[in-house]
Amino acid sequence: MKIAILGKPFDDEAAPAIQALLDDLAARKAEVLIGEAFRTFLDNRLRLPEGTTEFRRGDSLRGVQYVLSIGGDGTLLDTVTYVGSLQIPILGIHTGRLGFLATITPDRIAQAIDALYKGHFNIEERSLIRVDTDPDVFGSLNFGLNEFSVLKRDTSSMIVVHTYIDGEYLNSYWADGLVVATPTGSTGYSLSCGGPVMLPQTNNFIIAPVCPHNLNVRPLVVSDQSVISFEIEGRSTSYMLALDSRSLPVEASVQIAVRRETFNARLVKLNHVNFLSTLRSKLNWGLDRRNPAGIQL
């Protein structure tokens, strides 16, 4: 089996579990490819499977059956950009802090790899958001798993985001910015803006203003079949556009439209974890002490 690994540096505590993973892959005679920066981190720290090769951004991952993402949610968001339209299933291993998207903890790695080899898992299709801009801003990496956002950049003044749905005028948001989130992103930035949590398969976007200076303005749920377009205005001439963890400055004259990407991200889902259990354990919904003992996080 051909397996690619992307990752962020991890601390000493996680090292034995990652070594056990690499040994397991070696014993199974997997063909292992490791992202350049992570390989540099691993070299001289851990023993790699014989014949391990390295890949860089832009190298094709065609033929790879699974991608392991080792780090936190930020690493998983980055991994999605490496996989792109190939839609290779991604298994998120969590050596970080929250791990909302990357759900496999180090003590469950061996079980997860065994499940991969036996086919004992489900694939969760997660929609992506795509942004098209004129002039071009994000190049070929113009899609994200969580959200697209427009944000003020270098003044304390608000910005005005004139927003249209399928060409029809929606509103002009006077705010610090505006977020358009996928169902996956509904538990990220959008949640901090008062947006609702959406289950992964709900085929919608959330349009959520960041600190709107109009108390009547609320986050709005829109079909992901719609095209949402924007014009930006404000005292500054320069703003920030962001897709997940990536952000770039733009001039106010930029034309922006977002829509659902034609391909999805595919996350490997093992039996013991699902979106609902993650809400209870990672967003602490399950910590209500009034719940009867025995109800599981």
Ligand X SMILES: Nc1ncnc2c1ncn2[C@@H]1O[C@H](COP(=O)(O)OP(=O)(O)OP(=O)(O)O)[C@@H](O)[C@H]1O
Ligand Y SMILES: NC(=O)c1ccc[n+]([C@@H]2O[C@H](COP(=O)([O-])OP(=O)(O)OC[C@H]3O[C@@H](n4cnc5c(N)ncnc54)[C@H](O)[C@@H]3O)[C@@H](O)[C@H]2O)c1
- Which of 231-264 are b and which e, b meaning 16 or more Cβ less than 10 Å from the residue's Cβ? ebebebeebbbbbbeeeeebeeebebebbbbebb
Report how far residue 87's alpha carbon sits from residue 136's, in angstroms, rounded to the nearest whole number: 24
| 147 annotated as belonging to a binding site for a ligand | yes
User: What's the closest the beta carbon of residue 246 comes to ligand X, in angstroms?
Assistant: 12
User: CA 37 to CA 208: how far, in whole Å?
Assistant: 35
38: DSSP letter: H
Quick check: is 73 catalytic?
yes
Task: Work out whether 98 is an interface residue with ligand X (CB under 6 A).
Answer: yes
Q: Is 190 annotated as a binding residue?
A: yes
Structure tokens at 127: 């929609």
Q: Assess 201 for contact with ligand Y (CB under 6 A).
A: no
Per-residue tokens: 75: 């690493």
Residue 261, H or E segment? none
CB of 229 to ligand Y, least distance (A): 21
- Give the residue, chosen from 40, 140, 155, 245, that forms a contact with ligand Y under the rule CB under 6 A: 245
- By CB atoms closer than 10 A (0-12, 13-18, 19+), residue 146 is buried
Binding of residue 74 to ligand X (CB under 6 A): yes
Residue 71 or 195 with smaller CB distance to ligand X: 71
Region from 3-11, 112-120, 139-147, 197-205 binding ligand X, contact rule CB under 6 A: 3-11
Quote the CA–CA distance of 63 and 88 in Å, as a whole number. Answer: 9
Instruction: Check binding of 39 to ligand X (CB under 6 A).
Output: no
* Min separation Cβ 52 and ligand X, Å: 21
End-to-end, the C-alpha distance of the chain in Å comes to 34
96 is in an annotated binding site: no
**Binding segment for ligand Y among 4-12, 92-100, 196-204, 221-229 (CB under 6 A)?**
92-100
Q: Which does 8 bind (CB under 5 to 8 A by kind): ligand X, ligand Y, none?
A: ligand X
Does position 187 interact with ligand Y (CB under 6 A)? The reply is yes
Q: Please say which residue, 103 or 226, places its beta carbon nearer to ligand X.
A: 103
According to the annotation, is 43 in a ligand binding site?
no
Active-site residue (options: 24, 59, 73, 134): 73
Give the amino acid at 117.
Answer: Y
So which residues are the catalytic ones?
A: 73
